[in-house]
Each structure stands twice: as structure tokens, then as C-alpha cells.
Amino acid sequence: MFQWKENFQWIFSNLGSSDKVGVNESGIGIFKRQPYKGLAKEILQNVTDAKNPELPDEVPVRAKFELIYVDLEDIPGHERLREVIHKCSEYYSDGDDGEKLRSIRDAADKYFSGDTKVPVLKISDYNTTGLRGVKEETGSNWTGLVRERSATNKSNASSGAFGVGKFAPYNFTSVRTVLYSTKTINDEYAFQGKAILTTFKEDGKNKQNIGLFADKDSENFDAVFDVNDIAPVFRRTETGTDIFVLGFVKEDEDTWVEQSAISVIEYFFYSIYRGKLD
């Protein structure tokens, strides 16, 4: 059984003078009506933008969507995450927020307790650069996806100008939590979790709605940079990036694969036809 180091924890900063935030995150809501189209379009847009320039032109980028089941012990800080979700549910207990948070709380109770395996949508890319700049504070591929809002850090030649695509996977997590793991062409590793929940109260203080699984002893709440400190199921062995959507929830148990495939074909048929995307 893998044991996460004690300095890596879920961190929710004090709210301070920031606004209190309910359950309806606007970035997630953008993709609510057509979640599969949003997931395929935004993920593959990033993949095609990140082709490894060292590879020949005839080598396509590859993307893989698969449903895996992860041992609860491997889920980083699952007990703390469940505790925070319960506190969010207590803080916003009425109305629409209360109803939605009870659903998230029930999912946390289902997947983050007992002897269970957690359903996870794993999205992987290959023949790409990985998320470069994992130790930068701003302006990198890594920070644009994981650590910054309203910033994409792409050139004008790349798609996804407003950076909302990073929220698309959150429509498929019943516990509003996504994990990111990358190995870059510069042999950098990084692993970090991000939860988008609600404001909650702890020890008499209001807390931010966004939490990171990070190094609590670092000034910038850094990711896990040593590959040996990452649970094997989340380690990236080839250059590229894995996105893990925890507590994967499907609109239709029988057709989610087909819906995803149709969305891929709708937006990326020409790239696939030309041999640019596999």
C-alpha cells in the first residue's frame, strides 16, 4: 500500500476579504448543457496544441480516455477531502446549493470511506511536451491549467484563448476533484490535485472554495515534484500528461463511450483524417 508523505496535504486557504462562493462555479456551468462535447473539444484542443516539436510531422499526437478503478488508499488525502466536503454541506445547507452539496457529500461518503475502489476517468496524451514549467509561479503550461484563473499561457496561434476549458472535466467528477500528473520533455515531473467546492467554516474562520493537494511546507503550495513521492497509479512514465477525474459520474452508463467518441469525431475528424491525431 502506498503512503503519501505527511507534508503533502489538501490545503484550503483562509477566505479573508474574498467573496464567499457557492456551488455554482461559472466555469463548470459553461459546459453543463453539453458536457461530452465540452470535454472532448477542450481536452483534445490542448493535446493538439502540445505536439512534441522534436517528433517528425507524420507522428500524430495521441489521446486516450479510459475508466479505471483506484484503491481508496491511493487517493491522496481522501479523509481530509471528505471532511471538507461535509463542512461545505453544513455551511451551505439550504436551497439549491444545499441540495447539490448533499449530492456531493453522498458521493464523498460512498467513495471516500470503507473498502472500495474509486471510479476514475483517466485522460492521457502522448507524443506531446507535457505541461512545461511545473516550478514556475506564472506564465507556464502547468500554471495555466492548474494554478491560474483567467490565464491560458498560450500563444495567439493556439486555441482556447479564454482558459475556460480547464473546467470541462469537473462536470464528470461527483466529488468536484481532479488530479493532474505530468512528465515534460525536460524530464520534469509534477502531480497535484485540485478541488472546486464552496466556502466553508473551520476553526472559526471562513475558507476558500478551492483546495490544492500540495506541499504544505512550501511557500507557493507546490506540487509533488519527485516521481517517487507519487502513488504508482498516478505516475507518468512517458512524456505527456494524465488527468484523473475522481468519482467519475456518467450521464448514461451504457453510452458514455459512444457519446465521447461522437464528440471527438464532430470536432476533430479532419485532424484524425490527416493523421495528426490518434
Residues of the chain with pLDDT > 90: what percent? 80
Q: pLDDT tens-digit profile of 48-103?
A: 999 999 999 999 999 999 999 999 999 999 999 999 999 999 999 999 999 999 99
Q: Is 78 or 28 the better-scoring residue by pLDDT?
A: 78
Q: Which residues, in sequence order, are CB contacts of 172 under 8 Å at separation 6+?
A: 35, 39, 121, 245, 248, 249, 250
DSSP 8-state symbol, 72? G
How, if at all, do strands 177-183 and 189-196 pair?
antiparallel
State the pTM of this model: 0.94
Over residues 201-219, the mean pLDDT reads: 97
Most confident of 34-48, 62-76, 254-268: 62-76
pLDDT band at residue 157, thresholds of 50, 70 and 90? very low
Q: Is the pLDDT of residue 150 over 90?
A: no
DSSP 8-state symbol, 187? -
Rounded distance, CA 38 to CA 169, Å?
A: 8
DSSP 8-state symbol, 75? S
- The H or E element that residue 40 is part of is helix 35-49
Residue 165: what pLDDT?
84
Residues of the chain with pLDDT > 70: what percent? 94
Over residues 128-146, the mean pLDDT reads: 95
Over residues 234-242, the mean pLDDT reads: 97
Q: Is the pLDDT of residue 161 over 50?
A: no
The distance between the two most distant Cα atoms of the chain, rounded to a whole number of Å, is 59
